[in-house]
Amino acid sequence: MKNISVQDISSLSKRDNLISISIIAILFFIFGFVTWINAILIPYFKIACELSNFQSYLVAFAFYISYLVMSVPASYLLKAIGFKKGMMVGFCIMAAGAFIFVPAALTRTYELFLSGLFTLGVGLAVLQTAANPYVTILGPKESAAKRFSIMGICNKFAGIIAPLLFAAIILKPSDVHTFELLERMQGIQKDQALDELIRRVIIPYTIVGFVLLGLGALVRYSPLPEINTDIENAETAEMNSAKHNIFQFPHLILGALAIFLHVGSQVIAVDTIIGYARSMDINLYEAKVFPSYTLSATIIGYLLGILLIPRFITQKAALRFCTMLGVVFTFLIIYSEGTVTFLGHTADISIWFVVLLGFANSMIWAGIWPLALDGLGRFIKIGASILIMGLSGNAILPLLYGHFADLAGLREAYWVLLPCYIYLCFYAFYGYKSKKWSL
């Protein structure tokens, strides 16, 4: 497909637009599969590499800090070689990260695992920087949240599958007994058991590496249009004529901070829930399904977004509702008490409010992106990279949670979510309107 401008995107036929959206949806599925597998890796590495809570959450840190490092360079890469070639490079980098898991598992070296996760994140940063602007551009901006909801379903559906599939491959029913024995084992016997446990990741990550290489080639030669974002329409060009850098768009910078806090709070809800379940004496084999519950709640939110936006509610209204809901559920996690049995699990009721955070988080990403990119014109590539840098919140906030979990307890550590949702409320009501740095 030929190179077209943002203004010419409406000239795409319905068939070509559908094909383009479908390709991006596949990419979001891959993003979710690679990303949400961390939910099972964190408790798995905690056992196999004998880690503290803080150390185990370095999994999320190593993976997501790459967004802070790579997002702006990714925008220049895409500018130099185009979106499609850039995506192919991103897939190749991700494949290299997956292959690093092999020597890491053979030597049971946690630092090497972290380097593999960082490399996976670098490749994913390139892909995210390219893919998210497509979702905003491929259709009217008033329905961008609906398109993001569709992408979110693909992402979170992969997130439901990935931990369960990965757990089915690397965990066995007998491991419940093995984990109990590990606490009493010593010396060579314990090292051998831990080596056997960690080497189970070799085959799945080798397969993932080759699949990523194949996807890179497919995207490179796919019919996805190459969009030229440097051409502005007359109205946008006039509005941005006096602007020379990205920091002259306050609504974008405030939006990047909103993305930072949103994704960090979202990954806390998913990646900490297994550990929280285990604190209620639920074993890992049973607890592995809880991230899927949280992501299922997110998918329900996405489906409602698709049905209701923009016909019945605006994407701004959905964003405001979800941010306020996050504040409410955070208080309920901290203060609600009582043992309940639900879906076959007997646990404190507060864990189900962690699950419901998935619903609260559902329309926040979809609401922020179109508001933050609005009116950027020729700055849209660098603007998208700034927003993608916000994904480093996934690296920082889980570490804060892990630190406070070690100090005060797993439930009390959920206080870190409150300032996140309060700021998100601010952006949803006021921050997105900021067009200049003044009160």
Identify the CATH number of the domain in which residue 193 sits: 1.20.1250.20
The pLDDT assigned to 350 comes to 94
Please give the tally of structural domains in the chain: 1
> pLDDT tens digits for the chain (439 residues)?
455 554 445 556 677 777 888 888 888 888 888 877 776 777 778 777 778 877 887 887 888 888 888 878 888 888 788 878 888 899 999 999 999 989 988 888 889 989 998 999 899 888 888 777 777 777 776 777 778 778 878 877 887 788 778 778 877 766 666 666 766 677 788 778 787 888 888 888 898 899 899 988 888 888 777 766 665 555 555 555 566 778 888 999 999 999 999 999 998 998 889 889 988 988 877 888 888 899 889 889 988 888 888 788 888 899 999 999 999 999 999 999 999 988 888 899 999 999 999 999 988 988 898 889 887 777 777 888 888 888 888 888 988 998 898 898 899 999 999 999 999 999 999 988 887 776 5
For 97-145, the pLDDT digits (tens) are: 999 989 988 888 889 989 998 999 899 888 888 777 777 777 776 777 7
In a domain, 65, yes or no: yes
Domain that includes residue 373, residue range: 3-433
The pLDDT assigned to 9 comes to 53
- What is the rounded CA–CA span in Å between residue 128 and residue 130? 5
The contacts found for 380-385 with CB under 8 angstroms, 24 or more apart, are 380/6, 380/133, 380/229, 381/75, 381/78, 381/79, 381/129, 381/133, 381/229, 382/72, 382/75, 382/246, 383/246, 383/249, 383/252, 384/75, 384/129, 384/132, 384/133, 385/71, 385/72, 385/74, 385/75, 385/129
The pLDDT assigned to 230 comes to 60
CB 132 within 8 A of CB 369: yes
In a domain, 439, yes or no: no
The pLDDT assigned to 241 comes to 59
Q: What ranges in 233-374 are assigned the alpha helix state H?
A: 234-239, 250-271, 273-278, 284-287, 290-308, 315-335, 350-361, 364-373
Closest Cα partner for 263 from 144, 115, 112, 155?
155
In a domain, 212, yes or no: yes
The pLDDT assigned to 321 comes to 95
CB atoms within 10 A of CB 85: 17
Residue 89 corresponds to which tokens in the numbers above?
A: 């490079």
- In single-letter form, the type of residue at position 5 comes to S
For 407-424, the pLDDT digits (tens) are: 988 999 999 999 999 999
Distance of CA 182 to the CA centre of its chain: 33
In a domain, 438, yes or no: no
Q: What is the pTM of this model?
A: 0.73
In a domain, 140, yes or no: yes
In a domain, 119, yes or no: yes
